[in-house]
Amino acid sequence: MALTSVSELQTLIHEHITRTPRLPEIEHIPVAQSIGRVLAEDMVSALNIPATDISAMDGYALPSDAAAGSCWQIVGESAAGKPFAGDLPKDGCIRIMTGAVVPPGSTCVVLQENTKTEGNAIILTQDVAVGANIRYGGEEVAAGDTVLTAGRILRPADVMLLAAIGIGQVPVYRKIKVAVLSTGDELNEPGTPATDNGQVYDSNRHTLMARLAAMPVEVLDLGQAADDLESVLHTLNEASCMADVVITSGGVSVGDYDYMREAVNRLGAIHHYKVAIKPGKPFVFGQMLKTWYFGLPGNPVSGYVGFDLFLKAALWQLCGVQDIPQPFRLQAVLSQQVKKSPGRMDIQRAILTQNADGTWEVSPAGEQDSHRVWGVSRANGYIILPAEAGNLPAGATVTVQPFAEAFL
């Protein structure tokens, strides 16, 4: 089987999902709980922001532009929530607070620090022009404006915007259900006593569930399936009836006891790939009935990298996102030599630091074997080495993808 490049597999997954459009149902949730959810409908403002002309600063509202040295009588006050109700004479001014409604007839606001008070009058110390320090009604948002479009991952600033236009309940796509399953008789559940018969703790399933918790999904923990075809078939069949997506860890290679490949082939249209990537060559993707299936390799680091490169974007797409978030990448200088053989893209776990002059420096986070979980924990990013690259000396410039959770 020929190797599939990383970009080819990313495109194949995206196109498969695009050809089978199936958006989640819509639900309405409180605006304060909507961060990280996917907006299901365009949001159209029913009002202006500001609602009317208001003062941008504390000062005095004047009926016309004015020159330094001019004198104006104070005839009233306008505070936020308590507008001035009278008439503004030609030689008069209104004491006004930030956010207060600008009285009818006012054309500008002079800053209070640009005036001096003499009795019940002010004298300007600087010129003021028409329109100065006034926020006009609808200048930011006009009634009828579409402020957010469907398919957007809602951010904290979006909550501020939605609340500002009076939205209390937000239409979002419901959380898709993602089932997670590990396979292998060698797996031991964390929290149980260690054994001496070659078992290892199941870190993959728990890592997947933890990473999924940061996305708008409902996680279904299917536990561990034994290396037995009937057991795997039964678990996958149940999962396909209850979940939108099934993710398995392990059992996607060609070992005699890796039954996952045969089981998923019996249940659906599954594609097996050998990806030109290190770590994580084997990868499985397809559908079991109407349920999407992703099969990650069993080596912990291979599965971790595979989630970042292939699953994350696919899950966002299945959640209804229109513009899939792209990983942030930057250029950094190697602080030590990096070993690599041409042929596969190499995703090396790395430690990224910023120098005093603002430049970035990076080094591998220890040995790069796919079973070394401590290295991933120590790392704060990936070094992305293209397939054609070979060994690189210290001082070479490389592409780095920082871990979002490692930086503020």
CATH of the domain at 367: 2.40.340.10
Query: Is 63 part of a structural domain of the chain?
Result: yes
Of 111, 135, 159, which residue is a domain's last?
Answer: 135
Burial class (CB in 10 A: 0-12, 13-18, 19+), 394: exposed
Inside any domain, residue 190: yes
Q: Say whether both 221 and 85 belong to one domain.
A: no
Residues whose CB falls within 8 Å of the CB of residue 403, separated by 6 or more in sequence, listed in order? 379, 380, 381, 382
pLDDT of residue 271: 85
Q: Calculate the CA 126 to chain-centre distance.
A: 47
Please tell me whether residues 223 and 296 are part of one structural domain.
Answer: yes
Residue 250 has a pLDDT of: 79
* Same domain as 33, residue 19: no
> CA angle at residue 307 from 303 to 311, to 5 degrees?
135
User: Are residues 380 and 349 part of one domain?
Assistant: yes
Residue 109 belongs to a domain: yes
pLDDT digits (tens, 9 = 90+) for 323-376: 999 999 999 999 999 999 999 999 999 999 999 999 999 999 998 888 899 999
- pLDDT for position 256: 42
Taking only the tens place, the pLDDT of each residue in 147-196 is 999 999 999 999 999 999 999 999 999 999 999 998 877 788 888 887 77
Residue 362 pairs in a beta bridge with 334, 352
pTM of the predicted protein model? 0.90
Q: Is 324 inside a domain boundary? A: no
How many structural domains compose the chain?
4
The pLDDT value given to residue 253 = 63
Distance between CA atoms of residues 393 and 174, nearest Å:
49
Whether residues 267 and 369 share a domain: the answer is: no
Residues 195 and 248 in one domain: yes
- Of 238, 321, 235, 374, the closest CA to residue 39 belongs to 321
The Cα 164–Cα 337 span in angstroms is: 53
- Provide the pLDDT for residue 254: 58
Q: What's the pLDDT at 257?
A: 45
CA 131 – CA 129 distance, rounded (Å): 6
Q: Note whether residue 154 is domain-resident.
A: yes
1 in any annotated domain: no
Q: 165 is in which domain, residue-wise?
A: 27-48+140-173
- Residues 269, 186 share a domain: yes
Residues 6+ apart with CB under 8 A from 357: none
User: From first to last of its 408 residues, what are the pLDDT tens digits of the chain?
Assistant: 689 999 999 999 999 999 988 889 999 999 999 999 999 999 999 999 999 999 999 999 999 999 999 999 999 999 999 999 999 999 999 999 999 999 999 999 999 999 999 999 999 999 999 999 999 999 999 999 999 999 999 999 999 999 999 999 999 999 999 999 988 777 888 888 877 777 888 899 999 999 999 999 999 999 988 777 888 888 888 898 999 999 998 766 655 446 777 777 788 888 888 999 999 888 999 998 889 999 998 889 999 999 999 999 999 999 999 999 999 999 999 999 999 999 999 999 999 999 999 999 999 999 888 889 999 999 999 999 999 999 999 999 999 999 999 998
How many residues belong to the chain? Answer: 408
How would DSSP label each residue in 164-206? HTT--EEEEEPPEEEEEEEE-TTEE-TTSPP-SSS-EE-HHHH
Q: Same structural domain for residues 181 and 163? A: no
Same domain, 287 and 166: no
Residues 298 and 219 in one domain: yes
Distances (CA, A) of 337 to 64, 256, 332, 390: 70, 39, 13, 11
d(CA 292, CA 179): 10
Are both 224 and 306 inside the same structural domain? yes
Q: What are the strands, taking DSSP E only, across 97-168?
A: 108-111, 115-118, 121-124, 134-135, 146-148
Q: What is the DSSP track for 318-329?
A: HTT-SSPPPPP-
Does 181 reside within a domain?
yes
In this structure, the answer to whether residues 205 and 183 fall within a common structural domain is yes
CATH of the domain at 226: 3.40.980.10
CATH code of the domain containing 145 = 3.90.105.10
- Residue that is last in its domain, among 287, 318, 349: 318
* Cβ atoms of residues 298 and 204 within 8 Å: yes
200 lies in a domain? yes
